Structure 1
Amino acid sequence: MNIAPSILINGPGFSLREVKSVSEALEFLEEWPKNARSPFWYLARNALDGALTGSMPTDHARDAFEAFCKESGILLV
């Protein structure tokens, strides 16, 4: 399931990444340190899970992931 347009992120501990799909976004979230998981992380995770099951539109999940990235300071605009 593609995220369009893709989301560019960059931060400490990882190089520039282009997130193009719901599964890539979920994979990235799972790599995020447990002690740094904010409410934005949980909202993004729930929205992306919903997109996988069809209970959430993909564009809403994308918006939630982008909000997490922005809040975390890793979103490239």
Structure 2
Amino acid sequence: MDRLQFEVPVRITPVPGLPVEEIYSVEQALDFLQGWPARRQGKVYEAAFNACFGATVDVVGTEEACRAFMGFCRVSGLLARDMMNPVRRGSGAARAFREARA
């Protein structure tokens, strides 16, 4: 598996009424972020962009970049309704269940 590929794709609905899109990797997330309008960029956008860029130069882990991108999508209203939070490795089942339901 490519080191920059997400374990679970991030499902987004960039345009209401159109099919869900899946973002499979850091590169796809960066492409999406680079197309985001400058007037709508803020701190969450910057965090997601920096995390994804950091993953390309091995400063940030791929799954950390995925979580940052997912957070940006959630805050921006892009995250598909059927998208669950990724489970962190080493976490307990109860915690994973709570995160998935949040």
- Please indicate, yes or no, whether the TM-score normalized by the shorter chain is above 0.5: yes
Q: How far is 1:15 from its partner?
A: 5.0
Given candidates 33, 38, 52, the residue that maps to 1:29 is 33
Given candidates 8, 12, 21, the residue that maps to 2:11 is 8
How many angstroms apart in 1 are the aligned matches of 2:19 and 2:53?
25
1:62 aligns with 2:66: yes
SS of residue in 2 equivalent to 1:11: coil
Q: Which has the higher contact order (CA 8 A, sep 6+)?
A: 1
Aligned alpha-carbon RMSD (Å): 1.5
Given candidates 69, 72, 75, the residue that maps to 1:71 is 75
Gaps of 5+ in 2: 84-102
Identity within the alignment, %: 31
SS of residue in 1 equivalent to 2:13: strand
Given candidates 44, 48, 52, the residue that maps to 1:44 is 48
Residue aligning to 2:57: 53
Say which structure is richer in helix. 1
Say which structure is richer in strand. 1
Larger radius of gyration between Structure 1 and Structure 2: 2
Gaps of 5+ in 1: none
